[in-house]
A = this chain, B = another copy of it.
Amino acid sequence: MKPYAEMTREELASLKEQLIIQYKEYQGKGLSLNMARGKPCIEQLDLSMGMMDSLSSDADMTCEDGTDCRNYGVLDGIREAKELIGDMMENPIDNIIIYGNSSLNVMYDTISRSMTHGVMGNTPWCKLDKVKFLCPVPGYDRHFAITEYFGIEMINVPMTPTGPDMDMVEELVSSDEAIKGIWCVPKYSNPQGISYSDETVRRFARLKPAAKDFRIYWDNAYGVHHLYDHDQDHLIEILAECKRAGNPDLVYKFASTSKISFPGSGIAALATSQNNLEDIKKQLQIQTIGHDKVNQLRHVRFFKDIHGMVEHMRKHADILRPKFETVIQILDEELGGLGIGEWTRPKGGYFISFDSMDGCAKRIVAACKKAGVVMTGAGATYPYGKDPHDSNIRIAPTYPSIEDLRTAMHIFVLCVKLASIDKLLEEA
């Protein structure tokens, strides 16, 4: 098949007729498939069911330091959980706070605290006329929802294959005091699966922000979520790099076990400098007496240590790898060489990113929906839901079975083709 752009109007029209027949066939099947959210599948959830037995009614509920996990106390997490999560995040336990079940909640609270009380003695953001955040795009919709909710102006920064456009980041951060943060998913990014290059991480650590209270919001959601045992992306650890660069307080790093143990019933954590930790704990001790230590202990008893967690993640990979490969194979086979779309080939994480021709994403997603396939909404990967090119679509291959995934992807490529033909016919 030749590139669509090289086809005549007649060729396109004739192709469209054939494709519509296929599309209508799928429509007739009354399918209900969902590739919208990055949800683990049932087989993945089953991997952690052993955790339900790791604390039984006759279990010793005492921490290594003698603390009874069942009672009040321990604001920042039990030591053994800090050690496990510290190894996972590649940070010393002294830099870690263990939270509740949701890293999103930790990020929200971080912004909320900055609004009402400011960052390390600086003016609370609610007292400022304008607060801005940089948003590498495409990115994670729930990040953007937090900053939008707090009335923070979001500035798009294009992603490149090595991370955000660092020329633009450096220029903006060093010149505008209203810019207080940047949202980053540095490893197997959402939605592209891009991991920041060494140079990108180094440039982040060396930023010279105009605002003293500028922080990098480093959401390392997929730090240990590899698809392959050897072919893994590796990131320079940002806290250590910031410390080396003389910018120890520059970063808040977030992570959780949501996609390791159970979404909603895992443990979340923050890693940051001593100064930031002190600042945060002043607030945290007002907010709570402590998070769920029993669940922290449950995780530690189940995984035992970081090697146990890594072995556990290999089982996740064995389930997810064929799903990612199925999606990419169908995209390659069906759309390769047609010049109507581009897609990423992540080595980990939860998403594949697809870019259609400009102005086609919304119709593709709408057409998918009419054929029973729910995709993440077009535009969701951009601040305010506005994709200026209307081209980016996030594909979440983890939840459906491979069979459903195959069907859904065949419908998806069909919708891509149809939308592209319509676009070309309109333009011609």
When the two chains form their complex, are residues B71 and A283 in contact, meaning their CB atoms are under 8 A apart?
A: no
CA A287 to CA B68, docked complex, whole Å: 30
CB interface residues, A 35-67, toward B, < 8 Å: 37, 39-40, 42, 45, 48-53, 55-59, 61
Q: Does A264 contact B (CB under 8 A)?
A: yes
A42–B40 CA distance with the chains assembled, in angstroms = 38
| 0/1 string, A82-106, CB within 8 A of B gives 1 | 0000000000000000001110110
Q: Is A248 an interface residue, CB under 8 A from the partner?
A: no
Q: Is A146 an interface residue (CB 8 A)?
A: yes
Q: Check if B264 sits within 8 Å of A39, measured CB to CB.
A: no
Choose from B52, B112, B145 the contact partner of A57 (Cβ within 8 Å).
B52
Chain A interface size, under 10 / 10 to 19 / 20 to 34 / 35 or more:
35 or more
Interface presence of A286 (CB below 8 A): yes
Nearest to A259 among chain B residues (CB) is B72
| Given known A-B contacts A112-B112, A292-B292, A262 and B149 have beta carbons under 8 A apart | no
Specify which of B59, B101, B258 is in contact with A100 (CB 8 Å cutoff).
B101
A210 to B324, CA, bound (A): 59
In contact, A59 and B52 (Cβ under 8 angstroms): yes
Verify if A294 is at the interface (C-beta below 8 Å from B): yes
Residues of B near A142 (CB, < 8 A) are 286, 289
A71 CB, nearest partner CB in chain B, Å: 5
Given contacts A101-B100, A292-B100, contact A68 B53 (CB under 8 A): no
Expressed in whole angstroms, the Cα–Cα distance for A129 and B111 within the complex equals 22
Which A residues between 278 and 303 are near B, CB-CB below 8 angstroms? 283, 286-295
The answer to the question of A336 belonging to the interface, with a C-beta cut-off of 8 Å to chain B, is: no
A158: interface (CB < 8 Å): no
A116 and B126 in contact, given A70-B263, A265-B293 (Cβ under 8 angstroms): yes
Q: Which of B101, B109, B127, B286 contacts A292 (CB 8 A)?
A: B101
| A71-B101 Cα distance, complex, nearest whole Å | 12
Name the B residues within 8 Å of A117 (CB-CB). Answer: 149
Q: Which of B42, B108, B124, B291 contacts A287 (CB 8 A)?
A: B108
Counting CB contacts under 8 A, is A150 at the interface?
Answer: yes
Within 193-240 of A, Cβ neighbours of B (below 8 Å) are at none
Task: Please indicate the chain B residues that have their CB under 8 angstroms from the CB of A146 in the complex.
Answer: 286-287
Alpha-carbon gap, A71 to B115, bound state (A):
31
Please state if B50 and A265 are interface contacts (CB–CB under 8 Å).
no
User: Distance in Å from the Cβ of A120 to the closest Cβ of chain B?
Assistant: 16
**B264 and A72 contacting across the interface, CB-CB below 8 Å:** yes
Residue from B73, B104, B292 in contact with A289 in the complex, judged by beta carbons closer than 8 Å: B104
CB distance from A150 to the nearest CB of B (A): 7
CB distance from A102 to the nearest CB of B (A): 5
- Give every chain B residue within 8 A of A150 (Cβ-Cβ): 116
Q: Are B264 and A294 in contact (CB under 8 A)?
A: yes
The verdict on A286 contacting B108 (CB below 8 Å), with A53-B57, A265-B292, A292-B265 known, is: yes
Chain A stretch 145-184: residues in CB contact (< 8 A) with chain B: 145-146, 149-150
Instruction: Give the docked Cα–Cα distance between A288 and B39 (Å).
Output: 15
In whole angstroms, what is the CA distance A33 to B71 when docked? 17
List 3 A-B pairs, minimum CB-CB distance, nearest first.
A265-B294, A72-B263, A126-B126
Pairs A–B under 8 Å by Cβ, sample size 8 = A52-B55, A52-B59, A108-B288, A146-B286, A146-B287, A264-B293, A264-B294, A292-B292
Which A residues are closer than 8 A to B by beta carbons? 37, 39-40, 42, 45, 48-53, 55-59, 61, 68-73, 100-102, 104-105, 108-109, 112, 115-117, 124, 126-127, 142, 145-146, 149-150, 258, 262-265, 283, 286-295
